[in-house]
Structure 1
Amino acid sequence: MLYGIQLPVQSQSTLYAESWEAEAGPADLVEIARAADRLGFGYIACCDHIAIPRRLAAAMSTVWYDPVATLAFLAAATERVRLLSHVAVAGLRHPLITAKQYATLDHLSGGRLILGVGAGHVREEFEALGVDFSRRGAILDETIDALKAALGEAEFPEFSGERFTFGGLGQRPRPAQTPRPPIWVGGSSPAAIRRAARHGDGWLPQGDPRGELPGQIERLRRLRGERGGPFTIGAIAEPLYVGEPGWDVGRFTVSGRPETVAESLRAYRAMGVQQLQVRFRSRSGEELADQMAAFAAEVAPRLGE
């Protein structure tokens, strides 16, 4: 089972950010990215928000690094770990702009991009950019199909849809991956499940409780039916702490001996999960790196037992 990590520092919602991240910066991001690269994590991930309205700033904060700039910065500091946008609010941008940015990232990184996309939820972002918030789902559906064309092998991609039409326009460099980088679709609503099944190469759930995942996965498989090609089913694990923490890590955190943590996570594989996003409680960047090392050395090898 592939495992990856949402990077600290680059998004600081009160739902998950640790207190030390408020004073952290680019050097801390590089250290964690290099640790993930060195320790065999499958990917590092970066979120996407353009601007946060005042009504949400206290809960969400206004710290949201740009995913293309951040992942490109970290691509230069790493060698093998994949680069995931989790998730890009793709409907806020014309697909040719998104394709240019992410194709360049894939080219520069030697084919390490995973493009994660989602519908978005902040109305004011859409209004500021002149995008219809009420139609964001339909816009994203068409955007994904347009991105499939724009990120393919053709130098002059062709697409014709209700909102976007392009042809006879060349874009280079092309992505390093062929036939194109994978597109994983985020979200857990019925519409997002349908979108992932019909348009995506993978599914990125958004905080589904463990007990609800089997039903979601069954629904996804039923909707996908006989469609061909690889498809990656993901999940986000509860917060983790490898070992006995000695401090309050929260009642929902999975902690304890490595075999205890691994046993808990193996339940995801039994549900049909193929990639698991893990996150660790920590009081500093150093403790986070130590937790990642303990997980890679003592928990990950037990996930396949």
Structure 2
Amino acid sequence: MHIGFDVRTPRAMTDTQELADLVMEGERLGFDYTTVFDHMVVQRSLRAKYNNSDEGDTDIGYGRCHEQVTTIAFLAGRTRALRFVTAVMVVPYRPPVLAAKMLATIDVLSGGRVTVGAGTGWIKDEFEALGAPAFERRGRVTDEYLEVMKLLWTEEVVEYEGEHIQVYGIGLEPKPAQRPHPPLWIGGMSGPAMRRAARLGDAWYPMMNDQSKPLDTVDRLQAGIGRLRDLAEAAGRDPGSIDIALRVAEHGHRLSPTASDGTRRLFAGGDADFASDLNVVRDLGVTAIDFRFEHQRAEVVVEEMQAFQRDVLGRL
């Protein structure tokens, strides 16, 4: 099972050296991959809320970060083995031919170290600011854009006529270093997102702490994986061909040990609990999992990453 990390400090979102130092430290500690999120502009307030939560009512600063794909290109040049996961790329934000070209270029230049985490997005304000396709059509747009991107990465000449994108007789060279293409991890817990993962994904990549549909207990995670397997069979795919990758935003003593269903919450508690839960999710079929390390100060983030490597991964 591959272990990834997501580092969040106010300065690292915009400070070149702090961001590079944190990512290079993660590589030195032996993490397999890091994640980079995707927001474009700062909204002082939002009309939309993530999963109907209270998050995002005031000055949340989602846009205070570097552009995702450019950031990965820079960080790939500062590292040697670390993989980079777009977590997740909001697919409708970029024309699919351009996105396919950018990602293929980074994959070639990095020696095949890109994983494309993909989703539909949730901030209507940002869609409008970017002139992206209509927010209400983002699911179908995402499907078509991903289909075109996969064709461009794998076919010599692409013909595609969809409702939102049409391409005729074009090709993309050079192809990505990874064959047939960079792994495609589909994020989301909704019905359409899971069907998208079952039909198009190399992995399903949900957030364990999703407030509307959490996967934070053994039973909930088992049920989610079971549903994904059923959808894969319905799509005519081998369920075993689709990996399970998890995002964990909150963990450790910050979490209540009891979930809303009254059972034990995964990745709550101390180091021994954490290590035990990693073994549990691996046995359930999880092939990759990443954890967020977030603090106001970078040195605290580094200390937490070092402690995680020593006291949690050291127990495995």
Counterpart for residue 290 of structure 2: 277
Counterpart in the other structure of 1:178: 179
SS in structure 1 opposite 2:204? strand
In 2, the alpha carbon distance for the partners of 1:40 and 1:254 equals: 23
- AA partner of residue 138 (structure 2): R
Residues 135-150 of structure 1: pairs in structure 2 closer than 5 A: 135-150=137-152
1:37 and 2:27 correspond: yes
Asked whether 1:72 is paired with 2:60, we answer no
Q: Which residue pairs with 1:244 in the alignment? A: none
Which of 248, 254, 265 is the aligned partner of 1:250? Answer: 254
Look up the equivalent residue of 1:227 and give its one-letter code: R
Helix, strand or coil for the counterpart of 2:116?
strand
Q: Which moved more, 1:119-128 or 1:67-76?
A: 119-128
Alignment size in residue pairs = 284
How high is the TM-score relative to the length of structure 2? Answer: 0.81
Q: Choose 38-47 or 268-277, whichever is displaced more.
A: 268-277
Alpha-carbon contact 2:250-2:292 (below 8 Å) kept: yes
Indicate the residue corresponding to 1:17 in structure 2: none
Q: CA deviation at 1:84?
A: 0.7
Q: Give percent identity, aligned residues only.
A: 36
Match of 1:221 among 229, 232, 240: 229
Q: 2:16 aligns with which of 10, 26, 32?
A: 26
Structure 1 residues 62, 50: closer, same or farther in 2, change over 3 A? closer
Deviations 1:139-161 (CA, angstroms, capped at 9, x unpaired) = 11111111111122x45434332
For 2:274 and 2:246, how far apart are their aligned partners in 1? 16
TM-score between the two structures when normalised by the length of structure 1: 0.84
Task: Quote the Cα distance in structure 1 between the aligned partners of 2:110 and 2:142.
Answer: 26
CA drift of 1:37 comes to 1.5
- Deviation by residue 1:2-48 (Cα, 9 ceiling, x = unmatched): 11012324xxxxxxxxxx64797211111111122122212111111
The amino acid across from 1:139 in the alignment is V
Taking the aligned partners of 1:125 and 1:284, their CA distance within structure 2 comes to 28
Unaligned runs of 5+ in 2: 47-57, 257-266
Q: Deviation of residue 289 (structure 1)? A: 1.9
RMSD: 2.4
Aligned to 2:52: none
Question: Corresponding residue for 1:8?
Answer: 8
